[in-house]
Structure 1
């Protein structure tokens, strides 16, 4: 026994030693790709010395020496992006190229298939020559900076540039100008869900027995109504009334937005007469799906026209949201209706032809081969009609709304080979006044944005990006998939830029947007029927109007405001007949739990604070209530309405145009009341809460359920490793608060915060260097770097870092200075 024990001890010691050595080797290899920030290096592609000063938050301040050009500064940005976010850049590029499966295998074939059909990368290549000379030069210089870093990695054996490269080894092609343009198109894809909305609307019309109820479950933003639409079955007779589940790529790498998470943002500005210090103010926080690292990267560029600082997206050589010494700019998703689906009628005699206003015409087509790791290649046939690329029936459930003998094609503004959006983004940084910036915006094609501007004296909001010109005779006003062979349904080019919504120096001195409806104009000048917000804007109006003058700090306070206008509006409606009406109940009984929940909610001010129990009770109640209201009408489609629609709940409980009909369960003999359904839904919510968090309602914390899921898109599900690469935090806010944290609405953790402000910035032009900004993770994409998550806790607590163009301040606490000399 003693001998056996000794041998077991030796084996255990050997295994421990091997584990330690293996861990050490893995750490050594992974750490080789950690960039060195303090160095002197000679690189090809730069014409004069460039200096990259990284301040104490690792924000690069990029300067050209005497004789250097703007192109040298863009070279420095490309180099810095590749130092910190090389893996992220290569994955984004593979995504838009439809080449993920070469690295990740079968799990990404659907994503690649859809992206290949959109053909965004080829369109980006065609758009390179359409940029102005200055932008082409910037793109070439930026690409040279990225490639210089790639050359350095190869020459110096710097751990393949990122630790992920050891797990998913694949050659990295040199960066090209088309890559940056393609990433801007990918950003446009992430920010538009009009196609999904069209399909969903069509599918709901096929299943609802009462067409009048469509406006309840898919409500229009408040304002003047729209004209009645035709029944979808009138457009395409023979379609069956069914509702199958809609297919979408399920991988975390999918760029296709879920409904309700296409894009959201807050931005507002104040004129000097509404500013306590007498200078203009601007605040911006764009919202996108959370990830680690975040999509945003902070940087400062010293251009010939002056310094600019703010948020960039790795792969794109532009400050997308930020400021110069004289002007600031911020964006929100505009929700322009920039996508239309067309149903194309196939020639019964030849399915390679489709019907046009002038007769049958042959599809344009070409093969495309998807290489798949550890599997056989897949050959696609890409087809285009005059309306756009033909989309697969599996996308968003298109097959359920496409009649036999037809296919669906997509018109979308981003499908332009003459896309000058990059020119607009580069020239925006050089603009000195609001009027200059508005003129530059004419070159924007996609993504469409509400661009909010502030210079020293003026503020403005201008919707930039192409808006399709539709015929007034369009059969369904772009709200449903349309008959593609009818001339009146087709796009007629781009609406004049001058017709895009514009507001300059309003009388009240303050303007802003929370993705809310901008204006009411009759079709076809309507801009959109689907808007991203009807709730946050109400709270914003109150916060802006309760002060005569504002400061940087009051704008920060508004960005971080977690009070739910929705909760304050809806709780009195759904609980109207439940407050204080119950009789005494024994401890621990369902009746007593309901009384405790109602008491807590009756005393609550609607603040979605992470430390309070009421937000969780409220959110669970509304979720359960919507499920009960729609399940019998929508059947299997009810699961696709996983995020609560406040306007739907309000319409039902105010019985707007008979919307209370949703409360009655059609399959049951009794007539259910809305009060009864609300009580049952509250009981459902409390059962779920008790099973998940225990029966002590007063001890609940919203933040335990509302954790920000800043997960690594590839390694985030890998056991053990996920604890190092994922950034999880308790957060305040909710679906409809200014400090927006959109809940997933699905799965075992339906209230996880999956979509929020990855960047926040507040600019004060009475003292520009007092401006502040922050991102939700950190500058580095390398999970061994101390800059991977160093901003995460600041972001969660509502703190910021200085946003200064003061060169000496950047140097004073620099974590490193990289001096690049021409080779």
Structure 2
């Protein structure tokens, strides 16, 4: 008994010590939201009020002080995120995570992002306001590194803090540009289909691209003045930083709103992670004000608003990457063929540092089209040298200092458009609305022309000179709409209007979300902010009910089991709504997998799993389900010649059999919330166990699905469970009739510091479709009981 008593006392003391230790650590490592701090370089005192969601409202007497303070507070909430993203683009992840990340490092260090950054930095106008503010922002970050608390992650992985440079900032935009691109996931698959199976198989795929389109139409009116697929897929699975995926946005002109003022809605779709992508801030000086959403290590917001105007973005999805097959000189492998003879490859030496192991070095050959991908992707199964030409590295990069500065410092739609016109890559749909009643959509990218009939989504001929860029398109010829007759602009990564008489090629999403936007906006004459909040969380597919009816034509219902007949009736009558208790949503998504598998897997082999989740697969679906005759119906691995009726009956029976084994024989139990979940993973939380519980946020059940407005993006696969990988990175609704009560929400929380009260405080609000206010009213802001004063040192 005495022994037990001593043991209990011992365990109690240990528990107390652990609790006290955790409290001490959390207090010493958490962000500082109150008190006074001295930092050098300030001309005057800067006051930062933190609201009840941890958003810093920065009040400064001049813009440089404001950006220096912003750099400091941004770093204290998101330094670990900054560290990851700067290392990713530079190929330095293995340095902290070990050899498993060498493949990732080799890819990104070989893409030429750092070299492009160096060239861009050489051309910077160091007397410009944009440059001065950028350097002030960096100085604020670096002063926090010097004087602030080190985040827990740095101790856990054993990495020393390093100060940041302007090159790190450019590298962030390089990563963003590459993650926006889809060619590296799609072109190798399409090229293999073309080379293995010929024109019939290829034509059936690409002919679908011009069908079932909701085209983003061009109309320009004056401003209102009065007022490598599989290989790359393996690499992408290891990324600890979110890739950019898609997005929705719409801007309603005064004629479409109940209060006669512009309303802007925007929700960029980005890979889920913890911390979430955007960091919010409100900066106010005597000459400037913006409520912005910034990426890690970026001084100027890519999403923002104030009392005069608002802007957002979506991914344009234009094709800005081309792969070229080079021909080596048979007598000298360091030379490649051109139409003018042989040229020498540029040779670039690279070194990757690996935690706990010796450094590894490698060489990259670079042709006139770009790096040879065989040199940077070890498991690329192609003996031919494949070069990647990417507009981001091919042309000078103005994205950082000119574009993001101009957009966040505009004084009219015209001045805003001048900033949007400078984007060359990644391609963006830039959305605009203002208090004067202007609305605008700009497809911002350096579009280009090649010879007629050249299909750019397969490998091009690098030697002949016939597949080169012929001309670049002037921005005024890019599809765009300003104050159009239909009184709204919108974007959902869908097909843009014609350029020089032809639809511009790209990796556009199917029309599902764009059609839903148009259907809703055309359903009545006037909308208010509450309507827009409901719309941005909408969970109805505009196409699923039609697709399922077309897919099920030919299914022998009489031969089905009782469960099969009930499932058939349930999914046949589905309205396309992805509610938690929807049974039809579960059946539909299993049918999709079985349909894709039966149609394409035999020809594509190991490439099928990648193809299954590409834009190409989504875009061909609506046409393929209707085809009575198709070269894809026949299974090339059997002697029989299968027809459509064989495929659809096999698909339905396989789907029902799978669901019975997975979820039980009672069809009513096949609810969507049993198979769909979302968890926001932290780079260290991926290790599992106690680290998962400490750093990850979730898992949660949720509503929505692929290609609905509340776009919960998951991969179709054989498991029958759908783990949401991406979705709205923020939902914003900005109403110029009530600008001080505009709203937003982010997936987890404002801070990336696990000891912050704002680490995950918005997670449930986000899942439930709720919003929080983006405060602009100074009197309301100053009521905060959290006030950090930055004094000149």
TM over 0.5: yes
Cα distance change of structure 1 residues 614 and 533 upon mapping to structure 2, 3 Å threshold = same
Aligned-partner Cα distance in 1 for 2:134–2:156: 30
Contact 2:95 2:353 (C-alpha < 8 Å) held by counterparts: yes
Report the equivalent of 1:665.
635
Cα distance change of structure 1 residues 304 and 481 upon mapping to structure 2, 3 Å threshold = farther
Report the equivalent of 2:625.
653
Aligned-partner Cα distance in 2 for 1:624–1:393: 36
Cα distance change of structure 1 residues 527 and 669 upon mapping to structure 2, 3 Å threshold = closer
**Deviation, structure 1 residue 478:** 2.2
Report the equivalent of 1:232.
none
Contact 1:118 1:415 (C-alpha < 8 Å) held by counterparts: no
Contact 2:208 2:620 (C-alpha < 8 Å) held by counterparts: no
Write the mapping of 1:518-529 to structure 2, written as runs, cut at 5 A.
518-521=496-499, 526-529=503-506
Contact 1:207 1:243 (C-alpha < 8 Å) held by counterparts: no
Aligned-partner Cα distance in 2 for 1:669–1:807: 75
Where 1:413 maps in the other structure, the secondary structure is helix
Cα distance change of structure 1 residues 69 and 306 upon mapping to structure 2, 3 Å threshold = closer
Aligned-partner Cα distance in 2 for 1:224–1:558: 22
Report the equivalent of 2:439.
459
**Deviation, structure 1 residue 18:** 5.4
Where 2:350 maps in the other structure, the secondary structure is strand
Aligned-partner Cα distance in 1 for 2:94–2:296: 22
Where 2:289 maps in the other structure, the secondary structure is strand
Report the equivalent of 1:446.
425
Report the equivalent of 2:535.
558
Where 2:766 maps in the other structure, the secondary structure is helix
Report the equivalent of 1:387.
369
Where 1:654 maps in the other structure, the secondary structure is coil
Contact 1:734 1:740 (C-alpha < 8 Å) held by counterparts: yes
Contact 1:124 1:419 (C-alpha < 8 Å) held by counterparts: no
Aligned-partner Cα distance in 1 for 2:44–2:230: 61
Report the equivalent of 1:498.
476
Report the equivalent of 2:715.
744
Report the equivalent of 1:799.
770
1:711 aligns with 2:695: no
Cα distance change of structure 1 residues 139 and 573 upon mapping to structure 2, 3 Å threshold = same
**Deviation, structure 1 residue 516:** 0.7
1:810 aligns with 2:781: yes
Contact 1:290 1:755 (C-alpha < 8 Å) held by counterparts: yes
Cα distance change of structure 1 residues 100 and 529 upon mapping to structure 2, 3 Å threshold = closer
Report the equivalent of 1:437.
416
Report the equivalent of 1:60.
56
Which of 381, 385, 405 is matched with 1:399 structurally? 381
1:484 aligns with 2:495: no
Unaligned runs of 5+ in 1: 226-241, 584-589
Contact 1:246 1:397 (C-alpha < 8 Å) held by counterparts: no
Aligned-partner Cα distance in 1 for 2:541–2:233: 33
Aligned-partner Cα distance in 1 for 2:307–2:230: 55
Contact 1:769 1:805 (C-alpha < 8 Å) held by counterparts: yes
Report the equivalent of 1:146.
141
After superposition, the C-alpha distances for 1:64-109 in whole angstroms (9 at most, x for unaligned) are 0xxx321111112211110111101111111111111111110110
Aligned-partner Cα distance in 1 for 2:205–2:379: 18
Deviates more, 1:418-427 or 1:47-56: 418-427
Work out the number of aligned pairs and report it. 773
1:327 aligns with 2:309: yes
Report the equivalent of 2:91.
98
Write the mapping of 1:71-150 to structure 2, written as runs, cut at 5 A.
71-132=64-125, 133-150=128-145
Aligned-partner Cα distance in 2 for 1:12–1:352: 73
After superposition, the C-alpha distances for 1:377-422 in whole angstroms (9 at most, x for unaligned) are 101213322222222367497533x53xx34343332454543443
Report the equivalent of 1:249.
235
Cα distance change of structure 1 residues 175 and 219 upon mapping to structure 2, 3 Å threshold = farther
**Deviation, structure 1 residue 243:** 11
State the superposition RMSD in angstroms: 2.8
Contact 1:744 1:750 (C-alpha < 8 Å) held by counterparts: no
Contact 2:233 2:610 (C-alpha < 8 Å) held by counterparts: no
Deviates more, 1:718-727 or 1:554-563: 718-727
Report the equivalent of 2:733.
762
Which of 576, 582, 585 is matched with 2:558 structurally? 582
Contact 1:514 1:533 (C-alpha < 8 Å) held by counterparts: no
1:600 aligns with 2:570: yes
Aligned-partner Cα distance in 1 for 2:133–2:207: 45
**Deviation, structure 1 residue 445:** 2.8
Where 1:373 maps in the other structure, the secondary structure is coil
Aligned-partner Cα distance in 1 for 2:485–2:313: 22
Which of 495, 505, 513 is matched with 1:517 structurally? 495
Report the equivalent of 1:318.
300
Where 2:37 maps in the other structure, the secondary structure is strand
**Deviation, structure 1 residue 665:** 3.0
TM-score (norm 2): 0.91
Report the equivalent of 1:569.
546
**Deviation, structure 1 residue 507:** 0.7
Report the equivalent of 2:222.
none
Contact 2:538 2:710 (C-alpha < 8 Å) held by counterparts: yes
Contact 2:249 2:431 (C-alpha < 8 Å) held by counterparts: yes
1:783 aligns with 2:754: yes
Contact 2:742 2:773 (C-alpha < 8 Å) held by counterparts: yes
Write the mapping of 1:41-60 to structure 2, written as runs, cut at 5 A.
41-60=37-56
Contact 2:89 2:172 (C-alpha < 8 Å) held by counterparts: yes
Unaligned runs of 5+ in 2: 214-227
Where 2:429 maps in the other structure, the secondary structure is strand
After superposition, the C-alpha distances for 1:734-788 in whole angstroms (9 at most, x for unaligned) are 1121111111224746421111001111111122112111111100112232211
Report the equivalent of 1:237.
none
Contact 1:342 1:387 (C-alpha < 8 Å) held by counterparts: yes
